[in-house]
């Protein structure tokens, strides 16, 4: 106070001195044509005081604004701490399985701050756990409005769309992720899988190419299988559209790249058959059987022989291959089956009897033997064979089944409709059709004693 009084006194003295030294008057215009006259010292002093007053008022305004902003910041931080504390408690309850308590805590947190992303996502998880995906979507859409490019929110939103069976919305969300981050591997994989589920093979194939390009180097076995499977499906689409020659060229390239892909060889033969080249088809299937020993090749060859009314070539194949592979029970089984279709009963019985002598025992064998005995009017023998079939559980026909999920099918398939596996189709009960163990017994000649 003393300092302020001293400063004020000095200013008064300075003003009086300035007033005495400058007695002149000046005219001050405050509007057009309006003026007033005043002492020069008074005008200067008034100007200085006005500047000081304006500066002080600006200072007061700035200080007040700073105080208000600091108060708001502290209030926001306090609210954020409260919300996050409720969020942590809710997540603990959620992990513990207490959904009701978790929901109450999250609703309280949401009431305090409806823009908190963590709370909105947690509410969505609780709703999904309660079986309410529609309500979960409401919270996630709010979260998306708060942060449109947040990948965590977008992935959770896409998963929730799928849980609500809104596949198209899920696809659109994954595309949004790729718009934000074009090389996101997880988004590429999930979108590809959705296209595969919808059998949009061209779209899935394009995404797979992008994925493999991003991965670089040699892809792992799973990605390689998917790549080959997608090439197979796109070729199948081309074949179904009537462009058999183009499909054959694509499949031929696929077989060259993946020689062990059985499904590609089967479909390549189909393409040659549709293209009107049965010799090419037969060659592909015969080579396929020699290499892989899969029943589907023999079934295709049999259908081709009947369709072209030319069984001689297939009989020659069976006879030659049976001589070279006498232990091949599957070949003998289909050989006998084909002979029965041609009413060559004795030759059929010869092949089926060879299988029976080997000690192998499976239902398809007994069905064919029963049919052969019926055609020879040996009803007692036929009944015995049919009774043996009853001793087996499961499928006894020449249908197919998936190795991965055991789904049954009357027709061969390149891709299982149940589990989506490629190249998993096998003849039903094929594991029973195998060589019996070699017997340890040998013939004891006359005069020789057993050990």
**Scanning the structure block, which residue is given the tokens 């023998």?**
381
Please report the pLDDT score of residue 218 as a whole number: 67
Q: How many angstroms separate the CA atoms of 275 and 244, rounded?
A: 5
3-state secondary structure of 426: strand
| 366 within 8 A of 385, measured Cβ to Cβ | yes
Write the CA distances from 283 to 289, 296, 300, 382, integer angstroms. 10, 14, 11, 36
> What's this model's pTM, rounded to 2 decimal places?
0.75
Please report the pLDDT score of residue 393 as a whole number: 54
User: What percent helix, strand, coil does the chain show, rounded to 5?
Assistant: 70, 5, 25
What are the residues facing 3 on neighbouring strands? none
Please report the pLDDT score of residue 272 as a whole number: 97
| 308 within 8 A of 279, measured Cβ to Cβ | no
| 121 within 8 A of 143, measured Cβ to Cβ | yes
| 120 within 8 A of 142, measured Cβ to Cβ | yes
Contacts 24+ apart (CB under 8 A), 87-94: 87/116, 87/118, 87/119, 87/122, 90/122, 90/126, 91/122, 94/122, 94/125, 94/126, 94/129
Exposed/middle/buried for residue 297 (C-beta within 10 Å: 0-12, 13-18, 19+): buried
First-to-final CA distance of the chain: 130
Can you read off the two tokens belonging to residue 10?
A: 């000095």
Q: Does the CA dihedral 389-390-391-395 come out positive or negative?
A: positive
Across the chain, which has 451 residues, the per-10-residue mean pLDDT values are 78 76 75 76 79 88 89 82 89 89 91 89 93 94 94 96 95 96 95 95 94 79 90 96 95 94 96 96 96 95 95 96 92 93 91 84 82 83 76 64 89 90 86 55 40 38
């Amino acid at each position: 106070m003393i300092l302020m009084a001293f400063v004020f006194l000095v200013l008064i003295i300075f003003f009086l001195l300035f007033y005495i030294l400058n007695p002149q008057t000046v005219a001050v215009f405050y509007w057009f044509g309006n003026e007033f006259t005043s002492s020069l010292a008074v005008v200067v002093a008034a100007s200085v005081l006005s500047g000081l007053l304006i500066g002080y008022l600006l200072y007061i305004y700035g200080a007040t604004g700073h105080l208000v902003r600091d108060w708001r910041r502290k209030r926001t931080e306090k609210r954020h701490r409260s919300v996050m504390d409720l969020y942590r408690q809710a997540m603990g309850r959620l992990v513990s399985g207490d959904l009701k308590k978790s929901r109450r805590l999250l609703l309280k947190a949401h009431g305090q701050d409806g823009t908190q992303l963590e709370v909105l996502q947690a509410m969505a998880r609780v709703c999904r756990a309660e079986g309410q995906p529609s309500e979960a979507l409401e919270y996630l859409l709010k979260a998306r409005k708060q942060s449109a490019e947040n990948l965590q929110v977008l992935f959770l939103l896409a998963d929730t769309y799928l849980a609500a069976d809104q596949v198209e919305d899920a696809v659109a969300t994954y595309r949004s992720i790729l718009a934000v981050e074009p090389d996101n591997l997880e988004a590429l994989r999930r979108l590809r899988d959705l296209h595969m589920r919808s059998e949009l093979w061209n779209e899935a194939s394009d995404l797979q190419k992008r994925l493999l390009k991003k991965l670089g180097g040699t892809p792992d076995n799973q990605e390689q299988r998917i790549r080959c499977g997608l090439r197979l499906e796109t070729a199948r689409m081309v074949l179904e559209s009537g462009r058999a020659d183009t499909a054959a060229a694509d499949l031929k390239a696929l077989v060259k790249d993946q020689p062990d892909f059985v499904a590609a060889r089967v479909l390549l033969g189909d393409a040659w058959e549709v293209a009107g080249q049965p010799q090419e088809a037969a060659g592909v299937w015969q080579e396929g059987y020699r290499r892989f020993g899969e029943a589907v090749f023999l079934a295709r060859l049999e259908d081709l022989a009947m369709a072209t009314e030319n069984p001689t070539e297939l009989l020659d194949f069976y006879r030659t291959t049976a001589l070279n592979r006498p232990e091949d029970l599957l070949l003998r089984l289909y050989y006998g089956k084909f002979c029965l279709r041609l009413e060559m009963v004795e030759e059929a019985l010869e092949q089926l009897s060879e299988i029976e002598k080997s000690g192998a025992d499976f239902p398809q064998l007994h069905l064919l033997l029963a049919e052969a005995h019926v055609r020879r009017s040996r009803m007692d023998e036929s009944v015995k064979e049919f009774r043996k079939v009853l001793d087996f559980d499961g499928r006894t026909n020449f249908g197919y089944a998936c190795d991965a999920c055991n789904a049954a099918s009357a027709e061969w398939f390149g891709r299982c409709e149940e589990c989506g596996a490629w190249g998993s189709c096998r003849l039903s009960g094929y594991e029973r059709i195998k060589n019996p163990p070699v017997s340890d017994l040998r013939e004891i000649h006359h005069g020789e004693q057993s050990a």
